[in-house]
Structures are given as structure tokens and as C-alpha cells.
């Protein structure tokens, strides 16, 4: 089975063991032992919850599991990139070696490989860089595609996350690292240089919307990894809806999270990564 096709997820959440948690600027990289999980497709995600202390925080949250892109696979290991933005991510960031983690996945539709002789431009903002790491691994394993990586961050502490991928051009809002300005300015340069490209983007909603609009104008195919509040991750709750072009809604968890940009009129405010 190629790395672009996904095997079904095991039909129950599983208890995994934490191998370690590494700092990466303000982010954490969570490594878990994960031997039985079918190989995920780049862009797929898992629903995670700590085995202990899930619940009982302020306002008795978290209660439901949380969705995280599978950021990387190593033999017998899965890696996740975490940013502490609320009670669920906080608990996950507090995991230590040997702790238990509930995981369901891999879930969702991942990225499609680029057409032959097209450059892949990976555009990631903030913690949204996570699925681009495993995507870069996959693209480089095939060696057939030129890969350009553009990553944007709010500040220098976040920009350290860029180390998750390699060879990235970085932009920061505060100019502390790399280009001082918007990620889409870098993308614009890249598309100007050579528009035979396919764009793979994940990040905050305003960034995704800017990417979508730019690619639409220039007729460049774009695959957007969306986010949405999720209760289940496998199509059961219909909670993760985002409006689709022509009316109606997509379920981010089963119709996505990777969506062809042409399926959207715009990226709605709730459909992006924490910024």
C-alpha cells in the first residue's frame, strides 16, 4: 500500500504509552509508542486524550478527545506537535514518559500527491505546520517532487517550530526571525517565480483564506488542511461542519481535514488552526 492510500483505523480507541515529550520553542513534540497503528497518510489525524486527568479542570473540561495531526511517523512511533491553547492541549503537554494516552486513528482524508513535474509548496502557519512535516517526509521519500517549505509564525519562540521541517523559509509577524511580514508574501514570490506548483497549506483561518484566494486567482491547485471543533473525528456527530461551495456543509473529519480549495467559497473563521 502506498503512503498516499490510507488503511482503515482500528475500530476502538487504544491506550498508547508516551515515550517522551520534547520542547520546540513554545511547542511540544509528543512521541508515543505506536506499533499497531496502520501507516497514516500525510494529513491524517488522531483523536487524543490523556489516560489520567482528562476532565476535572476549570469548568470540568476537557471532556471530549482532541484532534491532532500526525506530525511524523518513525518505526513504532507516532509524533504529534502540540501547542498549549486550552485545557486539553495543556494536559497533553504535561504528559511524561510512561504515561498513558488514548488514541483513535488515523482518521480523515489526507493529502493527494502532486501531479508529476509539479513543485510542492508547503505553507504552514503556527502549529498548523504539523501535517506538513509528515508530508515533507513522504514527498522526499519519493524524490520525484521538488519541495518548497514556507512557514509563518507569530514570534521568535514560535518560529523555533520551523525545525520540525527542514529547509524552510520562515516569516514572522514581529520580524524576529526571517521575513518580517506575512507568509502569503513569501508564497506570492514563490508562485511568481514558478507557478507550476501545487500548494499544501495548514494554519490559522485567515492564513488559509489568503492562500486559498491567492491560489484561486492564479489558478494554482491548493489542498487545505482545515480544522474544526470535533467531538468524534469519524463522522458520527456532524459537529465539525464548514460551509462548502454551492451551499451545505462538509464534515472536516471525514470529508477532510484536507480539502481541495475549490470546494470552498472561503475558509470560515472557525476552520483554522489556533493562531
Partner 1 sequence: MSHGVEFCGLSLAHPVINGSGTFDAIAARRAFGPALERDFPFAAYVSKTITLAARAGNPAPRLWEAPGGLINSIGLPNNGLDGYIAEDLAQLAELPVPLITNVMGSTAEEFSALVGACDQRPEIAAIELNVSCPNVKTGLDIGADPQQLAQVVGACRASTRKPLIVKLTPNAANVPACAAAAQDGGADAVSLINTLRAMALSPQEGGERRPWLGGGTGGLSGPAIRAVALAQVAAVAARVSIPVVGMGGVQRSSHARDLIDAGATLVAVGTETFRDPATGARVAAGLRALRRTGEGFPTA
Ligand X SMILES: Cc1cc2nc3c(=O)[nH]c(=O)nc-3n(C[C@H](O)[C@H](O)[C@H](O)COP(=O)(O)OP(=O)(O)OC[C@H]3O[C@@H](n4cnc5c(N)ncnc54)[C@H](O)[C@@H]3O)c2cc1C
Residues binding partner 1 (CB under 8 A): 7-13, 49, 58-65, 86-87, 102, 104, 107, 228-232, 234-243, 247-249, 251, 254, 268, 270-271
Q: Measure the CA–CA gap between 169 and 51, rounded to whole angstroms.
A: 38
The answer to the question of residue 235 lying near ligand FES (CB under 6 A) is yes
Q: Which of 190, 198, 209, 227 binds ligand X (CB under 6 A)?
A: 227
| Residue 169, C-beta contacts closer than 8 angstroms, at least 6 positions apart | 148, 149, 150, 151, 178, 179, 186
In DSSP notation, 179-238 reads EES-HHHHHHHHHHH---EEEEEES-HHHHHHHHHHHHHHT--EEEE-----SSSSSSS-
Q: Measure the CA–CA gap between 31 and 99, rounded to whole angstroms.
A: 11
Which segment (19-27, 163-171, 195-203, 233-241) binds ligand FES by CB under 6 A? Answer: 233-241
Q: Which of 7, 23, 33, 56 binds its own copies (CB under 8 A)?
A: 56
| Binding track over 89-108 against ligand FES, x by CB under 6 A | --------------------
Residue 53 contact, options partner 1, ligand X, its own copies, none, Cβ 5-8 Å cut-off depending on partner type: its own copies
Which segment (56-64, 153-161, 170-178, 266-274) binds its own copies by CB under 8 A? Answer: 56-64
Cβ 115 to ligand X shortest distance, Å: 25
Pick 55 or 239: Cβ nearer ligand FES: 239
The answer to the question of residue 73 lying near ligand X (CB under 6 A) is no
| Residue 135, C-beta contacts closer than 8 angstroms, at least 6 positions apart | 42, 43, 111, 120, 122, 200
Which long-range contacts link 49-53 to residues 24+ away (Cβ below 8 Å)? 49/13, 49/88, 49/101, 49/102, 50/91, 50/92, 50/94, 50/95, 50/99, 50/100, 50/101, 50/102, 51/15, 51/99, 51/100, 51/101, 51/102, 52/99, 52/100, 53/91, 53/94
Residue 8 contact, options ligand FES, partner 1, ligand X, none, Cβ 5-8 Å cut-off depending on partner type: partner 1
The answer to the question of residue 255 lying near ligand X (CB under 6 A) is no
| Residue 203, C-beta contacts closer than 8 angstroms, at least 6 positions apart | 123, 124, 125, 126, 128, 129, 152, 183, 272, 273, 275
Q: Which of 25, 38, 55, 243 binds its own copies (CB under 8 A)?
A: 55
Q: Which of 30, 134, 150, 228 binds ligand X (CB under 6 A)?
A: 228
The answer to the question of residue 232 lying near ligand FES (CB under 6 A) is yes
For residues 225, 228, 234, 238, the Cα torsion angle rounded to the nearest 10 degrees is -130
Which segment (2-10, 11-19, 51-59, 114-122) binds its own copies by CB under 8 A? Answer: 51-59
Residues of this chain that interact with its own copies (CB under 8 A) are: 53-57, 60
Residues of this chain that interact with ligand FES (CB under 6 A) are: 230-233, 235-240, 251, 253
Residues of this chain that interact with ligand X (CB under 6 A) are: 45, 62, 66-69, 71, 80-83, 85-89, 127, 130, 227-230, 257, 273-274
Amino acid at each position: 500500500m502506498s503512503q498516499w492510500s490510507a488503511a482503515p483505523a482500528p475500530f476502538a480507541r487504544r491506550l498508547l504509552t508516551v515515550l517522551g515529550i520534547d520542547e520546540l520553542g513554545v511547542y511540544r513534540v509528543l512521541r508515543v509508542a505506536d506499533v499497531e497503528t496502520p501507516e497514516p497518510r500525510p494529513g491524517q489525524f488522531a483523536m487524543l486524550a490523556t489516560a489520567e486527568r482528562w476532565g476535572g479542570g476549570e469548568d470540568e473540561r476537557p471532556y471530549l478527545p482532541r484532534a491532532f495531526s500526525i506530525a511524523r511517523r518513525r518505526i513504532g512511533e507516532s509524533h504529534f506537535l502540540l501547542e498549549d491553547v486550552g485545557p486539553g492541549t495543556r494536559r497533553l503537554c504535561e504528559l511524561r514518559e510512561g504515561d498513558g494516552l488514548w488514541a483513535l486513528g488515523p482518521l480523515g482524508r489526507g493529502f493527494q500527491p502532486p501531479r508529476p513535474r509539479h513543485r510542492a509548496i508547503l505553507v504552514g502557519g503556527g502549529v498548523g505546520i504539523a501535517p506538513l512535516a509528515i508530508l515533507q517526509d513522504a514527498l522526499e521519500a519519493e524524490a520525484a517532487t521538488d519541495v518548497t517549505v514556507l512557514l509563518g509564525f507569530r514570534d521568535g519562540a514560535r518560529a523555533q517550530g520551523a525545525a520540525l521541517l527542514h529547509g524552510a523559509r520562515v516569516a514572522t509577524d514581529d520580524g524576529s526571525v526571517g521575513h518580517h511580514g506575512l507568509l502569503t508574501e513569501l508564497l506570492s514570490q514563490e508562485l511568481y517565480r514558478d507557478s507550476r506548483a501545487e500548494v499544501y497549506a495548514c494554519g490559522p483561518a485567515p492564513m488559509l483564506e489568503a492562500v486559498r484566494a491567492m491560489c484561486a486567482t492564479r489558478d494554482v491547485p491548493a489542498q487545505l488542511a482545515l480544522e474544526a471543533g470535533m467531538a468524534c473525528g469519524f463522522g458520527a456527530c456532524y459537529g465539525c461542519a464548514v460551509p462548502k461551495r454551492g451551499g451545505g456543509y462538509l464534515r472536516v473529519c471525514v470529508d477532510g481535514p484536507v480539502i481541495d480549495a475549490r470546494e470552498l467559497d472561503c475558509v470560515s473563521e472557525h476552520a483554522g488552526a489556533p493562531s
